[in-house]
Chain A
């Protein structure tokens, strides 16, 4: 499969002297759904800025579908669309005009621009708002408008810098569905987010950046397998008789109340033994859930150790 993005030995030193990127190496395969995670100030937006040509690299190289962003500017820019972290359209323009104008910047003829504008505004649930000034939109609508604008020239690569920040959960999930469909249709997606649940649900591969360096770059599955321990919470239908229960199950158990307990388990732990034990005591399990998001758990431990 072709490489969508290849970053080699990328350094960025800002005029202030801040060394934001310290030799980043990163490859993203075409059609991947890739998460770029890191704490605030880690360098995520700087990488996205360099790929989208808004930030100039100090050294190293970035290629998008084989074209160097520094030397093949035109070819590169046709291949990607960017949804920035902050709203960056004029608040005084109408919704449809914002998307139409962006289409014009890519040289799309007016009839095609109109067709694409309608297509993406409808897909993102904004068609009814097409004649509204953008300042009248809610926060979630503004985010969706930026996605429509980034897609109007139908790029092969979509870069999303925290696209669901400040968006309510219902809307966030509908955006996830939309992004998954876009990805399934062949568009490579790079996502930065603070919602680790979002990255875990959507992305197949992941890189974690901290202090300008990549500290983890692997598939989501193998990353989660590296978790040394996880805490599961069991909700039961029947009351737990504390003392008899504690002695029969292997592992560190904490009783939270008469119907809830949590247990720390390692990667090789056989969860069936808990069910067998509970079954033997005629205790029915109502639900089992992870105490914290697994990726979040890994992310925190990895960033802390780095």
Chain B
């Protein structure tokens, strides 16, 4: 397939993905905005005012980066897993599978869709946060790099989940029993310095802890983890997940009998 044709195929998948989550915006964009809005109101505003400062910032300022990251993680994952699995379920994925699109273009198209929804919801959360607090960006480069890498990593993870899923239960198990605990224990609402030694050790094995810390550094300039190490780890994670996705597509796992 010529490069120009590959680009058209990629663009077609991305447009289809954007059209899908825009068409069902009431399911894809509104619920996360309401949930995060409630976090701002209850944890940031009502309870946060009694907590005082954390790492030199008001509690509201402290949780804003974590909540943005939480929205990006959940929505980039959810978009890919639900879209790809739905297409498997309806068998409309066969439209793509019988066409000459290379596997990496298929993957790139779905991942771009996941990143787009993650960033769209992230942008909504940023706008909502201005109703409760103000902040400036400490490092644009780190902020953009971390949010893009995180959205990519969770889109890829969602893709793997969708490949293995056989029914709708299979696409909700990982978000409920793995992602949510990792996000809540990843330092969204607290600094790991508050944890006992054992708690800090456990957090060091949680990849979301590094993502939240690096993103918080990008926005506030403070972090619980080494920034370079966090970004490097994120890059390695994205690379490994990409390789796994390509290998699974090549083997036809969950797609070809």
Report whether chain A binds chain B.
yes
User: Which of the candidate stretches A71-79, A164-172, A186-194, A245-253 sits at the interface with the other chain?
Assistant: A71-79
B5 at the interface (CB under 8 A from A): yes
* Inter-chain contact A104/B95, CB cutoff 8 Å: no
* Inter-chain contact B1/A54, CB cutoff 8 Å: no
* 0 or 1 for each of A10-22: is its CB under 8 Å from B? (1 = yes): 0000110000000
B84 CB to nearest chain A CB (Å) = 13
* B99 CB contacts on chain A under 8 angstroms: 77, 102, 105-106
Give A109 to B100 CA distance when docked, in angstroms: 15
A289 CB to nearest chain B CB (Å) = 40
Question: Which of B9, B19, B86, B100 is in CB contact (< 8 Å) with A73?
Answer: B100
A89 at the interface (CB under 8 A from B): yes
* B102 CB contacts on chain A under 8 angstroms: 74
User: Which of the candidate stretches A30-38, A80-88, A117-125 sits at the interface with the other chain?
Assistant: A80-88
A77 CB to nearest chain B CB (Å) = 4
* Inter-chain contact A101/B2, CB cutoff 8 Å: no
Give A64 to B191 CA distance when docked, in angstroms: 61
The A22-71 residues at the B interface (CB cut-off 8 A) are 49, 52-56
The B237-256 residues at the A interface (CB cut-off 8 A) are 252, 256
A195 at the interface (CB under 8 A from B): no
Question: Which of B1, B15, B16, B97 is in CB contact (< 8 Å) with A53?
Answer: B97
Question: Which of B12, B86, B97 is in CB contact (< 8 Å) with A104?
Answer: B12
Give A149 to B95 CA distance when docked, in angstroms: 9
B24: nearest chain-A partner, CB-CB:
A92
The B14-59 residues at the A interface (CB cut-off 8 A) are 15-16, 19, 23
A280 at the interface (CB under 8 A from B): no
Question: Which of B6, B11, B92 is in CB contact (< 8 Å) with A90?
Answer: B92
Q: How many residues of B contact A (CB 8 A)?
A: 31
* A89 CB contacts on chain B under 8 angstroms: 90, 92, 95
* B13 CB contacts on chain A under 8 angstroms: 105
**Given A54-B256, A74-B100, A77-B99, A105–B92 Cβ distance below 8 Å?**
no
* Inter-chain contact B100/A77, CB cutoff 8 Å: yes
* B92 CB contacts on chain A under 8 angstroms: 88-90
Give A75 to B29 CA distance when docked, in angstroms: 40
B173 at the interface (CB under 8 A from A): no
* Inter-chain contact B16/A101, CB cutoff 8 Å: yes
B221 CB to nearest chain A CB (Å) = 44
Q: Which of A82, A90, A108 has the most CB of B within 10 A?
A: A90
A91 at the interface (CB under 8 A from B): yes
**Given A86-B91, A92-B23, A54–B9 Cβ distance below 8 Å?**
no
Question: Which of B86, B95, B256, B257 is in CB contact (< 8 Å) with A101?
Answer: B95
* Inter-chain contact A91/B90, CB cutoff 8 Å: yes
Question: Which of A14, A49, A88 is in CB contact (< 8 Å) with B95?
Answer: A88
A150: nearest chain-B partner, CB-CB:
B98
Give A102 to B11 CA distance when docked, in angstroms: 12
* Inter-chain contact A108/B8, CB cutoff 8 Å: yes
B87 at the interface (CB under 8 A from A): yes
Give A84 to B92 CA distance when docked, in angstroms: 11
* A55 CB contacts on chain B under 8 angstroms: 256-257
* Inter-chain contact B257/A105, CB cutoff 8 Å: no
* B101 CB contacts on chain A under 8 angstroms: 105
* Inter-chain contact A104/B90, CB cutoff 8 Å: no
* Inter-chain contact A107/B2, CB cutoff 8 Å: yes
* A109 CB contacts on chain B under 8 angstroms: 8
A94 CB to nearest chain B CB (Å) = 10
Give A82 to B99 CA distance when docked, in angstroms: 10
* Inter-chain contact A54/B90, CB cutoff 8 Å: no
* Inter-chain contact A107/B5, CB cutoff 8 Å: yes
* Inter-chain contact B9/A105, CB cutoff 8 Å: yes
Q: Which of B1, B4, B86, B252 has the most CB of A within 10 A?
A: B1
* A107 CB contacts on chain B under 8 angstroms: 1-2, 4-6, 8-9, 100
Give A151 to B147 CA distance when docked, in angstroms: 41
**Given A104-B12, A107-B2, A107-B6, A88–B257 Cβ distance below 8 Å?**
no
B94 at the interface (CB under 8 A from A): yes
* Inter-chain contact A52/B98, CB cutoff 8 Å: yes
B96 at the interface (CB under 8 A from A): yes
* Inter-chain contact B12/A54, CB cutoff 8 Å: no
* Inter-chain contact A105/B95, CB cutoff 8 Å: yes
Q: B residues bordering A, Cβ < 8 Å?
A: 1-2, 4-6, 8-9, 11-13, 15-16, 19, 23, 86-87, 90-92, 94-102, 252, 256-257
Q: A residues bordering B, Cβ < 8 Å?
A: 14-15, 49, 52-56, 73-74, 77-78, 80, 82, 84, 86, 88-92, 97, 101-102, 104-110, 149
Q: What are 27 A-B residue pairs whose CB atoms fall within 8 Å in the complex?
A: A14-B257, A54-B94, A54-B97, A54-B257, A77-B99, A77-B100, A78-B100, A88-B95, A89-B92, A89-B95, A90-B86, A90-B87, A90-B92, A91-B90, A101-B16, A102-B95, A104-B11, A105-B9, A105-B96, A105-B101, A106-B99, A106-B100, A107-B2, A107-B5, A107-B8, A107-B9, A149-B95
9 further A-B contacts with Cβ under 8 Å, apart from A105-B95, A110-B8, are A15-B257, A54-B98, A74-B1, A88-B92, A89-B95, A92-B23, A97-B19, A104-B11, A105-B13
- State the 10 A-B residue pairs at the shortest beta-carbon distance, nearest first: A107-B5, A104-B12, A105-B99, A88-B91, A77-B100, A74-B100, A107-B8, A55-B257, A90-B92, A52-B98
